[in-house]
């Protein structure tokens, strides 16, 4: 049995998939989540997949007393993977203080408790949003590309959180960190026992696509067809959530078992390949055989035209590589949507 890992936001989309991969790699997992955007029955799905029920505590990371109680109840936590955060870009513009409070306080509380409870490493969920729109010569974007002023309070919390980690470690704190900058996570576990469960009308492309395909939404709107891209629609680097989850296991092994690495490291986690919105829509139809009603609509404010990652560093240094085939990934998202209907959830 490997070390015990605390996964904050572990009932969420990426957190649940990462818990599965951690447990399958032999780690013991303690999940904390305030369930503000997820459901505790995700734990059942994790248990069905892995045969192991992770420990779960309904705790908000902003509540430092309750958080400290978790470290006391589960002595021996050696690593943290910190997913818990508010993540709706639009909402962050309307409620900036909520975003700054949630996303900054939770990290500060965790960092503060780490030395006291001898927790050695923290993996932080960052985002390619920190790059904004890279210049043409910076595409595919590397970890060295300039960080641009964030377009939203949400994006800014990712940038500031990265700085907080850097500053804390540079001050001599006895911890290590790997910061993972994700591109666009999509898909669901191949068992369809866990997946993405958006609240209300989905803002992200894939949940909107699958909800449209199943008839919950009438029509997908493709935001903008006059961008400077080959087919005029935006380009993103869509990364399979299971591949992304596996990157966290590699990162955890690196911070806990590798004494020679730098105390803070940053890795892009993507496929290294850009796909346009139209290519995704066509890919979905091809992979599932389901016809998708869609039309072009005006650009969405704040959208970035094109971004995809250079993932050489993750490939070489972390020893991780995205492996999934995009058609399989799109089928996994569709299978998950069908399962939600079967279960009467959506």
* Binding of ligand UD1 by 87 (CB under 6 A): yes
Residue 240 a catalytic site member: no
Q: Which of 27, 99, 131, 154 is catalytic?
A: 154
Choice from 221, 273, 313, 321 touching ligand UD1 (CB under 6 A)? 221
By CB under 6 A, the residues from 100 to 139 that bind ligand UD1 are 127, 129
* Binding of ligand UD1 by 272 (CB under 6 A): no
Choice from 39, 50, 204, 315 touching ligand UD1 (CB under 6 A)? 204
* Binding of ligand UD1 by 273 (CB under 6 A): no
- Residues forming a β-bridge with 265: 178
* Binding of ligand UD1 by 74 (CB under 6 A): no
**Bridge-based pairing state of the strands 220-223 and 184-186:** unpaired
* Binding of ligand UD1 by 179 (CB under 6 A): no
CB-wise, 10 or 185, nearer to ligand UD1?
A: 185
**How does DSSP assign 198-235, residue by residue?**
-SSS--SHHHHHHHHHTTSSS-EEEE-S-SSSTTSS-E
Q: Helices 64-73 & 96-116, crossing angle to 10 degrees?
A: 30
Choice from 4, 93, 303, 321 touching ligand UD1 (CB under 6 A)? 303
324 C-beta neighbours (distance < 10 Å), count: 20
* Binding of ligand UD1 by 71 (CB under 6 A): no
Instruction: Name, in order, each residue with C-beta under 8 angstroms of 155's C-beta and a sequence gap of 6 or more.
Output: 89, 92, 127, 129, 130
What six digits make up the tokens of 132? 């904004």
151 alpha carbon, distance to own chain's centre: 19
Residues 147 and 93: their CA atoms lie apart, in Å, by 20
**Residues comprising the chain, all counted:** 346
- Residues forming a β-bridge with 267: 180
For the chain, the distance separating the N- and C-terminal CA atoms, rounded to the nearest angstrom, is: 38
CB-wise, 220 or 340, nearer to ligand UD1?
A: 220
Stretch that binds ligand UD1, among 18-26, 92-100, 296-304, 334-342 (CB under 6 A): 296-304
What number of chain residues touch ligand UD1 (CB under 6 A)?
20
CB-wise, 8 or 184, nearer to ligand UD1?
A: 184
Residues 182 and 162: their CA atoms lie apart, in Å, by 13
Active site residues: 154
Q: Which residues bind ligand UD1 (CB under 6 A)?
A: 87, 89, 127, 129, 155, 184, 203-205, 208, 220-223, 234, 236, 277, 300, 302-303
């Amino acid at each position: 049995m490997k070390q015990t890992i605390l996964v904050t936001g572990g009932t969420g989309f990426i957190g649940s998939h990462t818990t599965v991969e951690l447990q399958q790699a032999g780690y013991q997992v303690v999940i904390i989540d305030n369930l503000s955007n997820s459901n505790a029955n995700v734990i059942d799905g994790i248990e069905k997949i892995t045969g192991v029920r992770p420990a779960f505590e309904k705790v908000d990371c902003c509540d430092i007393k309750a958080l400290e109680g978790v470290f006391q109840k589960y002595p021996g936590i050696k690593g943290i993977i910190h997913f818990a955060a508010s993540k709706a870009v639009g909402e962050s513009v309307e409620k900036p203080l909520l975003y700054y409070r949630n996303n900054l306080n939770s990290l500060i509380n965790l960092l503060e408790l780490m030395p006291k409870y001898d927790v050695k490493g923290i993996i932080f969920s960052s985002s390619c949003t920190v790059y904004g729109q890279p210049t043409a010569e910076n595409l595919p974007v590397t970890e060295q590309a300039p960080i641009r002023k964030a377009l939203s309070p949400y994006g800014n919390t990712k940038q500031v959180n990265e700085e907080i980690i850097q500053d804390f470690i540079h001050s001599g704190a006895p911890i290590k960190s790997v910061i993972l900058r994700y591109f666009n996570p999509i898909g669901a576990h191949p068992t369809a026992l866990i997946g993405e469960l958006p609240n209300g009308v989905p803002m992200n492309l894939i949940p909107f696509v699958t909800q449209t395909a199943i008839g919950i939404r009438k029509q997908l709107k493709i935001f903008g067809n006059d961008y400077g891209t080959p087919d005029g629609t935006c380009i993103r680097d869509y990364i399979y959530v299971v591949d992304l989850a596996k990157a966290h296991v590699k990162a955890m092994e690196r911070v806990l078992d590798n004494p020679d690495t730098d105390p803070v490291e940053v890795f892009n986690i993507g496929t290294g390949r850009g796909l346009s919105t139209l290519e995704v829509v066509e890919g979905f139809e091809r992979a599932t055989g389901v016809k998708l009603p869609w039309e072009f609509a005006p650009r969405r404010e704040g959208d970035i035209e094109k971004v995809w990652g250079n993932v050489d560093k993750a490939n070489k240094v972390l020893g991780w590589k995205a492996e999934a085939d995009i058609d399989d990934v799109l089928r996994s998202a569709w299978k998950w949507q069908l399962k939600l209907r079967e279960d009467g959830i959506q």
